């Protein structure tokens, strides 16, 4: 059994990006610039955005954090989005989710110029991804694909079972795993809350990508020997024995599944660190105008 070390891969990719950015700067090119809009003071969002700003510094990017009040109106937020759309120094930007209830996330996502949508959430990027055109692929699916290819995991003709059908992980990763190029070309089954025979389906899987948000859902008796397992779940399960009072728990019962798996991601340290790394990759592509002019 081999652990898929997302932390190590992410660190390596960030180093590769930093080297490329240094070369761009030395050649007189523009420093990639990522902006993030953070509305309110949600604890999780604060942490995510701080990590993104730190990753920008590690990669040699410029970053701008725009804070808006919890009570900001939808129109004010949309105005800020239009301002960033039209700012030539900003190559890409994100609006950190979730947003307060009075603001439509979909409206905000669709207001972002798709050429600057480094989160890959805009319908143009989602649509282009699903038909295999160059685009910004969203962070978690892109990170999973990077892990599979960095560990040279065979995917062609394999049965890949995706657990979960969310717009940000399940659906896009299923689309990527069935595309013809590597890492893909797999036969993909998507299971969700209305799937009656999940155990039988998982037992026939060569690759399982678990993105249900259901702690320790996948148990040892649900997988075959030699399976590759990617755990996207990160649920904060209350735990009095930890300093923070909770334990970050994946969708996989690691102790059981790791007995049978050939490759497996840990939680934390698997898919998580890859997501920010994918955002950095998209920002570099945006800075280079590599996808959209
Ligand atoms: N909230 C949690 N994950 C993400 C992400 O990848 N992008 C944005 N914009 N918000 C998030």
Ligand 1, atom 2: nearest CA belongs to which residue?
97
Looking at ligand 1, which atom is closest to the CA of residue 275?
6
Task: For residue 96, indicate whether it is catalytic.
Answer: yes
The per-residue pLDDT for 205 is 98
The per-residue pLDDT for 195 is 98
The per-residue pLDDT for 56 is 98
Partners of 27 in beta bridges: none
The answer to whether the CB of 95 is under 6 A from ligand 1 is: yes
CB–CB of 48/96 below 8 Å?
A: yes
Looking at ligand 1, which atom is closest to the CA of residue 98?
1
Task: For residue 52, indicate whether it is catalytic.
Answer: yes
Residues 6+ apart with CB under 8 A from 89: 33, 62
Task: For residue 288, indicate whether it is catalytic.
Answer: no
The answer to whether the CB of 112 is under 6 A from ligand 1 is: no
Expressed in angstroms and rounded, the spacing between residue 222 Cα and the centre of ligand 1 is: 30
The per-residue pLDDT for 124 is 98
Identify which of 50, 94, 118 to mutate to test ligand 1's pocket (most ligand atoms within 8 A of the CB).
Answer: 94
The per-residue pLDDT for 152 is 98
| Tens place of pLDDT per residue across the chain (293 aa) | 999 999 999 999 999 999 999 999 999 999 999 999 999 999 889 999 999 999 999 999 999 999 999 999 999 999 999 999 999 999 999 999 999 999 999 999 999 999 999 999 999 999 999 999 999 999 999 999 999 999 999 999 999 999 999 999 999 999 999 999 999 999 999 999 999 999 999 999 999 999 999 999 999 999 999 999 999 999 999 999 999 899 999 999 999 999 999 999 999 999 999 999 999 999 999 999 999 98
The answer to whether the CB of 94 is under 6 A from ligand 1 is: yes
Tokens at residue 42, please? 């949600």
Tokens at residue 208, please? 């399982």
The per-residue pLDDT for 182 is 97
Residue with tokens 């603001």: 103
The per-residue pLDDT for 273 is 95
Half-sphere exposure of 137 (CA within 13 A, CB side): 26
Active-site hit among 14, 80, 96, 158: 96
Expressed in angstroms and rounded, the spacing between residue 274 Cα and the centre of ligand 1 is: 13
Ligand 1, atom 1: nearest CA belongs to which residue?
97
The per-residue pLDDT for 110 is 98
Expressed in angstroms and rounded, the spacing between residue 280 Cα and the centre of ligand 1 is: 13
The answer to whether the CB of 13 is under 6 A from ligand 1 is: no
Expressed in angstroms and rounded, the spacing between residue 229 Cα and the centre of ligand 1 is: 23
The answer to whether the CB of 117 is under 6 A from ligand 1 is: no
The answer to whether the CB of 109 is under 6 A from ligand 1 is: no
pTM for this prediction: 0.95
């Amino acid at each position: 059994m081999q652990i898929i070390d997302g932390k190590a891969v992410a660190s390596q990719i960030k180093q590769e990006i930093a080297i490329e950015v240094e070369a761009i700067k030395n050649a007189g090119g523009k420093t990639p610039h990522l902006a993030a809009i953070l509305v309110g003071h949600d604890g999780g969002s604060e942490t995510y955005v701080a990590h993104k700003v730190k990753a920008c510094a590690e990669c040699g990017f410029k970053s701008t954090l725009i804070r808006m009040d919890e009570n900001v109106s939808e129109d004010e937020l949309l105005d800020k989005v239009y301002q960033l759309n039209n700012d030539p120094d900003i190559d890409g930007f994100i609006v950190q989710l979730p947003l307060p209830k009075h603001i439509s996330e979909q409206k905000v996502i669709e207001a972002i110029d798709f050429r600057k949508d480094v989160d890959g959430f805009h319908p143009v990027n989602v649509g282009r991804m699903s038909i295999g055109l160059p685009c910004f692929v969203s962070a978690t699916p892109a990170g999973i694909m990077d892990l599979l290819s960095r560990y040279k995991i065979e995917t062609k003709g394999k049965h890949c079972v995706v657990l979960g059908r969310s717009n940000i992980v399940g659906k896009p990763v299923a689309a990527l795993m069935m595309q013809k190029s590597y890492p893909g070309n797999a036969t993909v089954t998507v299971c969700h809350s209305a799937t009656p025979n999940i155990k039988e389906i998982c037992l026939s899987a060569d690759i399982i990508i678990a993105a249900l948000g259901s702690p320790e859902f996948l148990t040892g008796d649900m997988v075959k020997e030699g399976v590759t397992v990617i755990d996207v779940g990160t649920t904060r399960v209350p735990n009095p024995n930890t300093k923070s009072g909770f334990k970050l728990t994946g969708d996989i019962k690691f102790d059981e599944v790791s007995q049978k798996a050939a490759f497996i991601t840990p939680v934390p340290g698997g898919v998580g660190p890859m997501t920010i790394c994918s955002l950095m990759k998209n920002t570099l592509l945006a800075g280079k105008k590599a996808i959209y002019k």
